[in-house]
């Protein structure tokens, strides 16, 4: 029996996501053990991600395991994968997309925000957009995995959290969601809701062809091309969300500079499905010019 070892972060959500791929491989007659590890991003919890190097810290150890042969593929939340890819460790496919929206989570038993406590949110992208929805609320960083953050919320440290719907749904915690933000209200992080499969260059991954989703590949290529075009990274206050509608590619995006002190601009663009990078680059240029005109 062939063996494909799956590298995963050790958080409950990461393991649940890796188990989705594991089950598929097992159905194909493949032995697919999951090898878990704690990443640098999981260890450093006293500082925000932009202070310690961005979300690439969540893949560093998994990349090392791939390169030295301890694992054969890695399963990531695509939003945690840096926009600039390592040619030695290509992304080999993308899952079906779970709900890409951000959501508001209140403490158990609560039905409204407590204005005396901050909303917990570590993403500048989310904070900048949520401040327009909740101008009377304060915001404070919250680190840790989803279950750790929920415990901090329920222990009274925050009035609410802003999290990704996808993670809560995969953990079976959709009942904790108090409000879904539309993708117009809070534009999601590029790749949000999609799992990325990563392997070593030259490793035979053809067995995964039945798992990966071609539509996901198109829309995330568009989203990640936008991030690269504006010079953003995983921790930058930029956002992109693409969908295929009536045979066309539709991209909505957000752009800001630095940490967003000057505000941000948003825009939309349609284009051909066969040219996701072209659509992304055109909108990136449009928003960078608009930002300079409005904020410069």
pLDDT digits (tens, 9 = 90+) for 132-155: 999 999 999 998 889 999 999 999
Tell me: pLDDT of 250 over 80.
yes
pLDDT tens for residues 8-41? 999 999 999 999 999 999 999 999 999 999 765 4
What average pLDDT does this structure show over 270-278? 98
* pLDDT value at residue 43: 45
Residue 169: DSSP 8-state: H
pLDDT higher than 50, residue 44: no
Residues forming the active site: 79-80, 125-126, 143, 149, 234
pLDDT of residue 56: 52
Could you give all domains of the chain from N- to C-terminal order, each with its CATH number?
1-95+194-212 (3.40.190.10), 102-180 (3.40.190.10), 213-296 (3.30.160.40)
How far, in Å, CA of 276 to CA of 222, rounded?
Answer: 4
Mean pLDDT of 275-287: 98
Residues contacting residue 130 through CB under 8 Å, at least 6 positions apart = 119, 121, 137, 139, 162, 181, 186
Lowest mean pLDDT among 166-170, 257-261, 264-268: 257-261
- What mean pLDDT do residues 68-82 have? 93
Residues 199, 89 contacting (CB under 8 angstroms): yes
**pLDDT at residue 163, as a whole number:** 98
CA distance 288 to 283: 9
Strands (E) in the chain, as ranges, are 6-9, 34-37, 73-77, 91-94, 102-105, 119-120, 139-140, 160-164, 177-180, 195-199, 239-245, 248-255, 265-272
Mean pLDDT, all residues of the chain: 91
What tokens were used for 181? 């933000």
Distance between terminal CA atoms of the chain? Answer: 61
> Any idea of the CA torsion for 144, 145, 147, 153, to the nearest 10 degrees?
40
Own/partner contacts of 271-274, CB < 8 Å, gap of 24 or more, are 272/248, 273/218, 273/244, 273/247, 273/248, 273/249
Cα 266 to Cα 166: distance, rounded to the nearest angstrom: 23
Residue 213 has pLDDT above 80, yes or no: yes
Asked if residue 48 has pLDDT above 50, the reply is no
Phi, psi angles (nearest 5°) of residue 257: -110, 155
Supply the pLDDT for residue 47: 44
Distance from C-alpha of 234 to C-alpha of 82, rounded to nearest angstrom = 6
CA distance linking residue 249 with residue 93, whole number of Å: 19
Other Cβ atoms within 10 Å of 288 Cβ, number: 16
C-alpha R_g of the chain = 19
**What is the rounded distance in angstroms from the CA atom of residue 159 to the CA atom of residue 130?**
14
pLDDT > 50? residue 1: yes
pLDDT confidence bin for 45, thresholds 50/70/90: very low
The model's pTM: 0.91
């Amino acid at each position: 029996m062939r063996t494909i070892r799956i590298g995963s972060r050790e958080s409950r959500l990461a393991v649940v996501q890796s188990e989705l791929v594991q089950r598929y491989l097992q159905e194909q007659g493949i032995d697919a053990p999951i090898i878990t590890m704690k990443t640098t991003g999981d260890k450093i919890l006293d500082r925000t991600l932009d202070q310690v190097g961005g979300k690439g810290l969540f893949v560093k150890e998994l990349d090392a395991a791939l390169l030295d042969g301890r694992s054969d593929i890695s399963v990531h939340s695509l939003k945690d994968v840096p926009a600039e890819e390592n040619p030695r460790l290509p992304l080999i496919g993308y899952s079906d997309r779970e709900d890409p929206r951000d959501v508001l989570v209140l403490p158990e038993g609560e039905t409204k925000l407590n204005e005396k406590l901050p909303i917990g949110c570590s993403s500048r992208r989310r904070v900048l957009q949520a401040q327009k929805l909740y101008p009377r609320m304060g915001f404070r960083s919250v680190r840790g995995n989803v279950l750790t953050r929920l415990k901090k919320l329920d222990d009274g440290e925050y009035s609410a959290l802003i999290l990704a719907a996808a993670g809560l749904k995969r953990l079976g915690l959709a009942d904790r969601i108090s409000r879904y933000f539309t993708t117009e209200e809070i534009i999601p992080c590029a790749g949000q809701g999609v799992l990325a499969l990563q392997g070593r260059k030259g490793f035979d991954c053809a067995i995964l062809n039945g798992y990966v989703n071609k539509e996901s590949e198109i829309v995330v290529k568009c989203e990640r091309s936008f991030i690269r075009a504006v010079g953003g990274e995983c921790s930058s206050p930029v956002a992109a969300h693409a969908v295929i509608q009536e045979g066309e590619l539709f991209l909505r995006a957000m752009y800001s500079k630095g940490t967003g002190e000057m505000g941000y601009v948003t825009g939309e663009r349609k284009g051909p499905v066969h040219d996701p990078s072209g659509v992304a680059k055109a909108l990136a240029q449009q928003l960078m010019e608009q930002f300079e005109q409005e904020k410069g």
